[in-house]
Chain A
Amino acid sequence: MGAEMSEYFTLLKPARLGFKNYVKDPGPGGRVKLISLGVFTLALWAALFLLSIRMLRSFYSVEGFGDILSLKTFGLLWLSGSALLIFSAFITSLSSFYLARDLSLLMAAPVDRESVFWARSTQSLLASAWMPVAFLLPVFIAFGYNFKASALYYALLIPTSLPLVLIAGFLSQTVVILLVNVLPARRTRDIFSLMGLLGFIGLYLVFRLLRPEQLVNPDSFRTVAGYLASLQTPASPMLPTTWATDLLWPLLGGNPGEFKFIYLALIWVMAISMGIVSSYAAHFFYWAGYNKSQEGAGRQKAGGLLNLGASLFRFIRRPEYRALAIKDFKIFFRDHTQWSQLFLLGALMIIYLYNFSVLNLKRYPLQAFYLENTLAFLNVGLVGLVSATLSLRFAFPSISAEGYSYWIIRSSPLSARDFIQEKLFFWMVPILLVALVLTYLTNLFLDAAPFMAITAFVLTLLLTPGLCALGVGLGSRFPRFETENLAQVPTGYGGLIFMVSSSLSLLLIIGLSAWPVVRYLRIHRRMTPWGLKEAILIPLMAILVLVLIYQLWKRPLKIGREALEVYDEETRSLDRSKGEDDLGDLSPDGTLRPKRPLKASKS
């Protein structure tokens, strides 16, 4: 047992030491990154905390609903947090157990395979859990603050969350281990596709169950009693998340007399049981599955439909653009791990459009015009968010997607400008298409006025390329060519910068556009006459918006191009600013120093 434990800790050493070294010396700009990440996290926590408090207080503004809604939200948070954990653990398990590059080295080492499994399991648990836990913690603290909970509530938060993390992790690991054995060898990609499909079905079901259209249907309020009754229906008593809710709710809005430690015991028993099941699965199936995953996929032919699709790019006149576009197209569609993203994208679009199609705003004849047009305008922001999400998922990692093969581009006559331009156009066209289709159809569903429909369409047409440019530009500024999993690229520091920049840009552009648009609508409805203020401010703000959009397009591309021009994969840590180049530069007039007399002489 002692030897196994020692092996286990040794196997965790590379990750532990790597983390320690990174904290000790994060490289040039690393400290700034760490500090800005810390500031961002604190700001996010504060925002989450304040938003949660506000939400909970608003629940109590409707008499009789407060407790029920708070309880339901509390339960839903545990449930959705666990679902997120399972999904996240599924992805990290697959990569940790079967795809990581160092596995062959570990498997060849004289260590017990189960030690390898447990070390990988720990790393996978940590990698998958930190984000959902970090984001949910301020929300749970807000619950405690709002209900003036005792210290016991706060003390129990971690002992309750930890076994739930373990349950989600062990469950995902067990499923992954079994799936890799059941599916044909080297079909991990199929697992990703399956995951995407399951994600699609799951999202669809969640959406259907929520029935958002009911919120604007006055008829539904006639059955408030029935609605309340449905809310009071208890959640499944077999779920560990229900036990977590039942454990902690009495310390919040419930009856403190109903507090029972048995729920905590139940969650821990479940976690330990899942650990045992996972351990058995690993004992019997991990090694066999690992072997299967290492087998060659056989001779896999290129061609078929994909070549037909790629022929669409033949019309591109510049051969280097054409070469890159065809390559990117083929690689994207041959990489089945990308498919899950496409499934989710499809689900997102369907849900988005469905939401708008069921909004029947004509029920409010007096306000229908304003509701329709205000929503049509706000829809530009929502479509902008969709474009930003797509840019983050596809345009941002497109530079890092070159991976270790980036040397081919670096040593070719292709300039960084051309390289970035191709990436931009490659992703901008489909993302713009999606954004325009969404805008057109939502305007159609909303029956928006022609002015608003055209404004929304034009704003989307201008804004989307800007967001794509931001994605490609920042993707070039923060490339991760060494990444093992492309899906992880948007989760890094550069992705964070993109999210913040795109959200701020959207807010700014939509905020600046709002006043002229509303003003114009009012004038159009003859509620406000044209005045000098409007005549000056409307065109001025329109120009300002255009300038901002132009900057959104231009600046990130410039930053990205400059970053790629000086990019050295081995010198990312080279600090030019410290003047460590002690050998001096070539003389400014371009004259050359005489060649040193080195001919066959030992120095």
Chain B
Amino acid sequence: MIRLINVSKAYRRHQAVADLTLSVPAGEIYGFLGPNGAGKTTTIRMVAGALAPTSGRIVLGGHDLASHPKEAKSLLGYIPDRPFLYEKLSGYEFLSFTADLYREPRERAARKSQHLLELFELWDWRDELIENYSHGMKQRLIMAGALLPDPKVIVVDEPMVGLDPRGAKLVLDIFKDLARLRNVAIFISTHTMSLASRLCDRIGIISQGRLTAEGTEEELKNNSGVDAQDLEDLFLELTTKPDAPPEGRVLEDEPQGLK
């Protein structure tokens, strides 16, 4: 359902993503892990069509994002890490706007909007302007907007940012249901190892713009040649730079004379 074929992205002299090839079939939750600056968000935004790759192809549901953006994006629900929304619209108006943008029939959109607003506990706030929402509420509204057009592909950047534990659990359950019951392909970028471990069917680890490992958690542990207890150990092993300080020593000694 999601295919990245030799995708690269360069910012002037900086290579953010290099020759990335991966695929996510329908019904799978794919976790995309990596340290800060590894190229996760750039990849996510390229898959979401918000950023054009320098080279390579991205195919969603059989539609090339570059040559058939409309068809590809019609299948997509994108949830960015920062909840930038139209602050002067109400929550309900935003969903109605999204429905029209994705050409959803009006009656169906109204019904779905109510259901999603209730699901994300925003129904009481439906007529308030978004500028009055908290960070978490905005994040939940973005999720409601992404789910409204029944996407076949969901691309999520840091899904739990700004959510309280109750909201986080809700989102976790929704993603699981979408993948299992509706065969939706979900591509998640995250720093949270426990989330990746609990939610994802397969995991890809990106470091310095390159995919360094890919597989189920078990496969990663078994095949990596690293003595890892859990995903976090594995992640640290696979993404640690050679010049990083030895384990257990992070801060340098205070220079003499400053004490």
Chain A residues packing against B (C-beta within 8 Å): 296-303, 319-320, 322-324, 326-327, 330-331, 334-335, 403-405, 407-408, 410-415, 566, 568-571, 573-576, 580-586, 592-593, 595-596, 598-603
Contacts and interface: CB of A to CB of B under 8 A. Distances in A.
Contacts of A571: 9, 11, 51-52
Interface string B236-251: 0110000000000000
27 contacts: A297-B132, A299-B125, A299-B132, A300-B128, A300-B132, A302-B89, A303-B90, A320-B101, A323-B97, A323-B101, A327-B93, A330-B89, A331-B88, A410-B50, A411-B50, A411-B76, A576-B54, A580-B12, A581-B54, A582-B15, A585-B55, A586-B56, A598-B211, A600-B224, A601-B223, A602-B224, A602-B237
A408 B21 CA distance: 26
B219 A599 contact: yes
A600 B223 contact: yes
Interface string B61-100: 0000000011101101010101011101110110011111
Contacts of B129: 300-302, 334
A335 B88 contact: yes
Contacts of B222: 600
B84 A405 contact: yes
A602 B10 contact: no
B89 A602 contact: no
A415 to B, nearest CB: 6
B223 A599 contact: yes
A584 B69 CA distance: 22
Contacts of A580: 10, 12-13
Nearest to A412: B101
A574 B42 CA distance: 14
Interface in B87-146: 88-90, 92-93, 96-104, 125, 127-129, 131-132, 145
A339 to B, nearest CB: 13
Contacts of B69: 413, 415
B227 to A, nearest CB: 12
Given A331-B86, A412-B73, A573-B12, A407 B213 contact: no
Contact of B6 (A296, A300, A574, A586): A586
B11 A602 contact: no
Given A411-B48, A568-B51, A600-B220, A403 B84 contact: yes
B163 interface: no
A586 B125 CA distance: 48
Given A405-B84, A583-B10, A602-B225, A592 B93 contact: no
A570 B132 contact: no
A303 B127 contact: yes
A411 B73 contact: yes
Could you say which of A296, A408, A586 has the most chain B C-beta atoms within 10 Å of its C-beta? A408
Contacts of B45: 407, 570
B28 interface: no
B19 interface: yes
Could you say which of A319, A576, A584, A593 has the most chain B C-beta atoms within 10 Å of its C-beta? A319
A419 to B, nearest CB: 10
A376 B48 CA distance: 53
A413 B56 CA distance: 21
A364 B184 CA distance: 80
Given A319-B103, A566-B52, 17 more contacts: A300-B132, A301-B127, A301-B128, A319-B101, A320-B101, A326-B100, A408-B85, A408-B86, A408-B145, A412-B101, A413-B70, A592-B57, A598-B211, A598-B214, A600-B223, A601-B224, A603-B210
Question: Size band of the B side of the interface?
Answer: 35 or more
B84 A404 contact: yes
A407 B80 contact: yes
A586 B51 contact: no
Interface in B27-57: 42, 45, 48-52, 54-57
B226 interface: yes
B162 interface: no
Given A302-B129, A303-B127, A581 B10 contact: yes
Contacts of B224: 600-602
Contact of A595 (B21, B70, B71, B131): B21
B225 A593 contact: no
A503 to B, nearest CB: 33
B13 A570 contact: no
A584 B55 CA distance: 7
Given A302-B90, A405-B86, A592-B5, A586 B55 contact: yes
A583 B54 CA distance: 9
Nearest to B6: A593
A301 B125 CA distance: 9
Contacts of A403: 84
A413 B10 contact: no
Given A323-B101, A599-B215, A581 B8 contact: yes
B100 A405 contact: no
A303 B131 CA distance: 15
A596 B21 contact: yes
A405 B85 contact: yes
A403 B82 CA distance: 13
B168 interface: no
A568 B56 CA distance: 16
A402 B45 CA distance: 18
Nearest to A578: B12
A546 to B, nearest CB: 33
A126 B11 CA distance: 33
B212 interface: yes
Contact of A574 (B10, B102, B103): B10
A319 B100 contact: yes
A580 B98 CA distance: 37
Contacts of B49: 410-411
Contacts of B101: 319-320, 323-324, 408, 412-414
Could you say which of A320, A335, A410, A603 has the most chain B C-beta atoms within 10 Å of its C-beta? A410
B103 A320 contact: yes
B193 interface: no
B103 A411 contact: no
A319 B211 CA distance: 40
B142 to A, nearest CB: 9
Could you say which of B88, B127, B213, B222 has the most chain A C-beta atoms within 10 Å of its C-beta? B88
B18 interface: yes
Contacts of A413: 69-71, 73-74, 101-103
A401 to B, nearest CB: 10
Given A330-B88, A601-B213, A570 B128 contact: no
A69 B103 CA distance: 65
B65 to A, nearest CB: 10
A575 B237 CA distance: 35
A592 B210 CA distance: 18
Given A322-B100, A331-B86, A602-B213, A296 B55 contact: no
Contacts of A586: 5-6, 55-57
The 7 closest A-B pairs by CB, nearest first: A323-B100, A600-B223, A302-B90, A404-B84, A334-B88, A319-B100, A600-B215
B8 A583 contact: yes
Contacts of A411: 48-50, 73, 76, 78
B95 to A, nearest CB: 11
B6 A592 contact: yes
Contacts of B56: 586
Nearest to A590: B57
A603 B11 CA distance: 24
Contacts of A331: 86, 88-89
Contacts of A322: 100
Could you say which of B71, B89, B145 has the most chain A C-beta atoms within 10 Å of its C-beta? B89
